């Protein structure tokens, strides 16, 4: 059933290169990992996807949680246009996309949860604390921010991830955070942090940070 959801999402994109990219992303964040992440999402309410890219995962979490209203934000106009088109094709009305820079994000309305999948390492590191503080503002105490990113260790896995990032987006800067650094930044922004290791056969140093808004 959920594999069918993934297939129908990929088919909602016309461009064969984008489809290939989507298959690659769903291979990296395959169903098992989507469920590991998704178990922390509420079944209903507004959910933010910061750095949503082509919209793959917002489409997935909207399709598998019809009570959610997922709002995706990304810097790339092309990706946002493709995400909107894919949502229309899939007939999903509980997902919306917005063009914007995460560095300008203002947490001015409350959400039930927020997530960032492989985006923190693309945001200039000096802008990350302000972004985390804004995300904290739109989550009531006890609500969750989920951050999936990559660790700096072990070094060979970091090099592998760096090579792929260079291949996929050669002009996008990257800065990887160690788990200690990112945990510290999340705690300073007002979150209690648990880490969930996403063990992979592929050489990715994935880490999922489950961040609970503190009182
Ligand atoms: C590796 S992709 C991940 C996309 C999506 N979260 C996923 O997992 O497939 C990184 C995304 O971050 C977006 N991005 C990078 N810097 C950003 C910023 N400052 N504000 C919003 N989006 C940004 C890029 O346009 C790109 O779509």
Q: Which tens digit of pLDDT belongs to each residue from 143-162? A: 999 999 998 988 888 888 88
More confident residue, 163 or 8: 8
> CATH number of the domain that 166 lies in?
3.40.50.150
127 CB within 6 A, ligand 1: no
Residue 137 structure tokens: 């503002």
Q: In this structure, what is the dihedral angle of CA atoms 196, 202, 203, 208, given to the nearest 10 degrees?
A: -20
Beta partners for 44? 67
Backbone angles phi, psi at 118, to 5 degrees: 55, 50
Based on the structure, what is the number of domains in the chain?
1
CA distance 202 to 124: 27
- Please state the atom number of ligand 1 nearest to the C-alpha of residue 73: 21
- Which residue puts its alpha carbon closest to atom 12 of ligand 1? 51
Q: Is 135 helix (H, G, I), strand (E, B) or coil?
A: helix
117 CB within 6 A, ligand 1: yes
Note the Cα 159 to chain centre separation in Å.
Answer: 21
**Which domain covers residue 66, as residue numbers?**
2-213
Confidence class of residue 28 from pLDDT cuts 50, 70 and 90? confident
Confidence class of residue 207 from pLDDT cuts 50, 70 and 90? very high
Give the tens place of pLDDT for each residue, 156-181: 888 888 888 888 888 888 999 999 99
Give the pLDDT of residue 200.
Answer: 81
CA distance 73 to 71: 7
CA distance 60 to 175: 27
Angle between the N-to-C axes of helices 2-11 and 31-38, in degrees from 0 to 180, rounded to the nearest 10: 110
Per the listing, tokens 């996008």 go with 172
Q: Has this prediction a pTM greater than 0.75?
A: yes
Query: How big is the chain, counted in residues?
Result: 215
Is residue 1 scored above 60 in pLDDT? no
118 CB within 6 A, ligand 1: yes
Measured in Å, residue 55 CA sits from the centre of ligand 1 at 10
86 CB within 6 A, ligand 1: no
């Amino acid at each position: 059933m959920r594999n069918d959801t993934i297939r129908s999402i990929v088919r909602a994109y016309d461009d064969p290169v984008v489809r290939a990219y989507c298959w690659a992303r769903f291979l990296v964040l395959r169903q098992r990992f989507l469920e590991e992440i998704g178990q922390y999402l509420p079944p209903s309410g507004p959910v933010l996807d910061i750095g949503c890219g082509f919209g793959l995962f917002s489409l997935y979490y909207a399709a598998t949680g019809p009570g959610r209203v997922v709002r995706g934000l990304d810097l790339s106009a092309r990706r946002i246009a493709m995400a909107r088109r894919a949502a229309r094709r899939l007939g999903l009305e509980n997902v919306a996309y917005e063009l914007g820079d995460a560095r300008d994000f203002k947490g001015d309305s409350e959400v039930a949860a927020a997530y960032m999948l492989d985006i923190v390492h693309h945001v200039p590191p000096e802008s990350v604390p302000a972004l985390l503080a804004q995300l904290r503002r739109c989550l009531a105490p006890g609500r969750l921010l989920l951050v999936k990113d990559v660790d700096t260790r072990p070094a060979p896995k970091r090099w592998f991830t760096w090579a792929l990032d260079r291949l996929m987006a050669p002009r996008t800067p990257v800065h990887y955070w160690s788990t200690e650094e990112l945990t510290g930044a999340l705690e300073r922004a007002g979150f209690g942090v648990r880490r969930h290791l996403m063990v992979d056969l592929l050489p990715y140093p994935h880490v999922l940070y489950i961040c609970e808004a503190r009182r």
